[in-house]
Amino acid sequence: MRNYILNPETLLYEIKEASLRSKLFKVLLLLAGSIALALLYVWVFTSVLGLDLPKTAILKAEKARWDAKIDVLNSHLDRYESNLDALQVRDDDIYRSIFGMNEIPSSVRMAGIGGVDKYSYLDGLESNNLLKNTAMRIDRLTRRTYVQSKSFDEVSSISKQAGDMASCIPAIPPIVPDPTKYNFSSPFGYRTDPFTGEARLHSGVDLAMKVGNPVYATGDAVVEAVNFDFFGYGNTVILNHGFGYQTLYAHLNSVNVIEGMKVKRGDCIAETGQSGRASGPHLHYEVHYKGERVNPTNYFDLSMSKDEYLAMVGKREAESQAVLSRRPFSVSRR
């Protein structure tokens, strides 16, 4: 709407021009009114109606979609972690145990990847750090999967030697099982020490017999040590069978092997005696598994037929003689 005023000089009506101040006032008034309406809209939308602004609603919807994806990812990780736990138990308690392998320490299996600062870029993204925790979890599972894979590679390599393992396990008596030649004088376990009278763990079995009876290797092995202890086991032979097994033969009268020598099951390695601290002539025999002394009677059967045992020893002697006969020899010339 236009405003007109009468010009007294020309006696004509002329359009009245608004002043700059008036225009500026109107503009400011319009701007203030717009801001007030916008604030009123925001207040009614958020406080009165309890709704989110369109931009906020879009961001929240996007966040909800990503949270749902991360939740699905974590559910998959739960399943993968459960399967990995089952593989770890089977690996430690069955596969590695069967082949005499030590368990993998938890500190190795559960070790993380990277340093603390690796995830610093994810700090402050959300109050519960869901994304950071998921990233750390993926890295841990990746590390555990790698360790488990290497463990299975190791088990696979050892399993290819299963035939060797069967011949290395100390699975026969260390003497000819002839009941007329020996007496099972002391079993494995706690007993009264014959010298001190105190209760002590007897870490092997004692087979009482006359001096000079042959003692045989109970499995394929390498002679790890040949010792003499005047106040202890006397003449002693320790065989390392591999796969976590060792055997010890003590109070021997004579020894037929030297350290580093390879022996086969049924090889005569010594003769029984009464050396060291012994109350009478006997063979003290121990089986060690993974460094722990175990009951030897779990590994051999003294009710084994004497003829069967001697047949095995005779076969082993024949094999040894055949090997010796095939070795080349030289004649010295002068």
Q: What does the pLDDT read at residue 205?
A: 96
Q: Are 55 and 63 in contact (CB under 8 A)?
A: no
Q: What does the pLDDT read at residue 332?
A: 42
End-to-end CA distance of the chain: 143
pTM over 0.85: no
Element of type H or E holding 221: strand 221-229
What is the chain's pLDDT, residue by residue, as a tens digit (334 residues)? 566 666 677 767 666 666 677 778 778 888 888 888 877 777 776 676 666 667 777 888 888 888 889 899 999 999 999 989 888 888 888 778 777 777 888 888 877 555 556 666 666 666 557 888 888 888 888 888 999 999 988 888 877 777 778 889 999 999 999 999 999 999 998 887 777 777 788 899 999 999 999 999 999 999 999 999 988 999 999 999 988 899 999 999 999 999 999 999 999 999 999 999 888 999 999 999 988 999 999 899 888 899 999 999 999 999 988 887 776 654 443 3
Closest CA to 95 of 170, 169, 157, 163: 157
Residues with Cβ within 8 Å of 141's Cβ and at least 6 positions away in sequence, in order, are 77, 80, 81, 84
* CATH code, residues 172-302+312-324: 2.70.70.10
Residues with Cβ within 8 Å of 257's Cβ and at least 6 positions away in sequence, in order, are 223, 226, 237, 263, 269, 270
